[in-house]
Amino acid sequence: MKSRALTVVLVLLLAGGALATTPDEVPNPRKQGSWVTDLAGVLSTSDRARIDSLANELQAKNGSQLAVVVLHNTDRTPKSFATTLFNKWGIGQRGVNNGVLVLVVMSQRRIEVEVGDGARVHLPDQRTSSILQSSVIPHFKNQKPARGIVSCVEEVCGVLRPVRFAVRSKVYTGSAISDFANVLGRDFKQNLVHRCEKLYREHGVELVLFTRPRARSAEQEFRDLQLGPNAVLALLATETGTVDVFAGADVKAPDLQAARKYAAEKSWDLAAGKLVGSVEDASADLKVGPRSAEAPPPPRRPATTTSVTRRAPYRSSGNPLGWMIVAGGIVTCGGLYHWMRNRPRKCPQCGTRKHRMSEAEDDQHLSREEILEEQLGSVNYDAWLCPNCSHVHTERWNAWVTGYRNCPSCSRRTLHVTRTTVDYPTYDHSGRGREDCDCRNCSHQSTSYYTIPRKTRSSSSSSSGSRSSGSSGFGGGRSSGGGSGASW
């Protein structure tokens, strides 16, 4: 009798495990033009139509996306399942992250509302929990789960429908501070980041602060970055000691004359802090919010985009002969370089054998630009002296490894290049990077943008990758686990 009962329990456990659904097994509703996947048979045709109508209206209003999934059971906790499925499908607009997923697991008597990072600003976890407890869970306890699901969707749409979401990705993920001149303290930059986030959260003003060695037009930079009317761009030029500020149409610009005085501060930390404070003061009475998806973009000059293709890194097959060939090539090149640089030279005037001068001695025969190249480590100059007739000639040897390029203006190898990732690539979307060039010899500066190829999946994950968010019909949004859940 006991063995029969044990067998029954075992069969039930195996059956329950077989019914557990994985994220890869959930059908994508967008392939049928819907926003609902109901594998538990809870929702009626009219319920599904009501949810689709609300979700379509919400997307048309501000680009937000809302999906509903109802399951019997899951292969993990409902919260973990919701986060995984949300990011697998990419619910919400890419970069704006204004998506919501309502997940109901009937066997575990649990509902989870997963909220995208951008929508979470307007639908915080506490608000989501309040909606579930007051408007959703009572219906589930009264054996009306369909009514509870529809009510949840109605409440969420009611909160998000009036919101004005930005239509572009934010320029810098997690931070609006870029210290290209490397003059701000680490802890101070963290403090500024928190202040900028608070400014955006409370007043809807997006502040971007740059420090650069040399000045550049803040207005031109504003256009190149495609900032919206709710943004303020502040530039601090450390070498020229100037400050430039440009504000969007919806934001009251701080007093520029007062802002320029901040450049005279003894500390760049103090100057940057006062500049951020002036933007905070100017925005104290504002509540502009991000730019509406329906509003036309401001006129701007399109940014230069450069496509970059990188060679795949060398991967050894593990054959020792391959390693020997590579090592032999490196040694040969190094030996040839050493011989070419140190081989004997004869004086073209008297034929006497010359000798190479020391680093301290050869500086007397180099120009200011050549000395700068040596100081930067981009070029090595050798001066050869004839002991008989005192004839001197110099030779230029480019460094093998350097962070500098040839400047298109002065032709010196003094162009410093800084690369910043603006939008990180994913498996479904390419990324975008920014390249800032600043010559340490002349005043040449330039900024360009380049495309970062999207990530590629390994062959082992190609089958599951074909069902990823790139072809899901959603917009590529992300969630960091925001939202709330409740049991009934």
Whole-number Å distance between alpha carbons of 75 and 20: 5
For residue 461, the one-letter residue type is S
Nearest to 63 by CA among 478, 470, 477, 482: 477
Whole-number Å distance between alpha carbons of 304 and 49: 45
Which pLDDT value is given to residue 259? 61
Whole-number Å distance between alpha carbons of 435 and 445: 11
Tokens of 67: 């999906």
pLDDT in tens, 146-182: 999 999 999 999 999 988 775 443 433 334 677 777 7
Among the four given CATH numbers 3.10.310.50, 3.40.960.10, 3.10.105.10, 3.40.50.2300, the one describing domain 177-291: 3.10.310.50
Residues in the chain: 488
Half-sphere exposure of 24 (CA within 13 A, CB side): 7
Helices (H) and strands (E) in the chain, counts: 14, 17
The partner residues of 236 in beta bridges, in order of sequence, read 211, 243
pTM over 0.75, yes/no: no
Nearest to 67 by CA among 16, 33, 24, 108: 33
3-class secondary structure, 353: strand
Tens-digit pLDDT string for the chain (488 aa): 445 544 544 444 444 444 688 998 999 999 888 999 999 999 999 999 999 999 999 988 888 899 999 999 998 999 999 999 998 898 988 767 889 999 999 999 999 999 988 888 889 989 999 999 999 999 999 999 999 999 999 999 999 998 877 544 343 333 467 777 777 877 787 788 788 877 777 777 788 888 877 777 888 777 766 666 777 888 888 777 778 888 877 776 666 566 666 655 557 777 788 778 878 777 776 665 543 333 333 333 333 333 333 333 334 445 567 677 877 777 887 778 778 878 888 888 888 888 888 877 778 888 888 888 888 888 888 888 888 888 888 888 888 778 788 998 888 989 888 877 766 666 656 667 778 888 888 878 888 877 888 777 554 444 444 344 444 578 778 888 889 999 99
Tokens of 81: 């399942």
257 close to 285: Cβ distance less than 8 angstroms:
no
Please give the C-alpha separations between residue 488 and each of 127, 216, 419, in angstroms, as whole numbers.
Answer: 18, 59, 51
Measured in Å, how far apart are the chain's first and last C-alpha atoms? 35
Q: What is the DSSP string of 24-43?
A: GGSPPGGGGT-SEEESS--S
Which CATH code for domain 20-167+463-487?
3.10.310.50
Whole-number Å distance between alpha carbons of 444 and 403: 17
Which pLDDT value is given to residue 301? 34
Which pLDDT value is given to residue 49? 93
- Measure the CA angle with vertex 38, ends 464 and 52; round to 5°: 100
Q: What angle separates helix 186-203 from helix 268-282, to the nearest 10 degrees?
A: 10
Nearest to 235 by CA among 255, 200, 207: 207
Which pLDDT value is given to residue 425? 67
Whole-number Å distance between alpha carbons of 328 and 293: 60
Which pLDDT value is given to residue 279? 80
Domain with CATH 3.10.310.50 in the chain: 20-167+463-487, 177-291
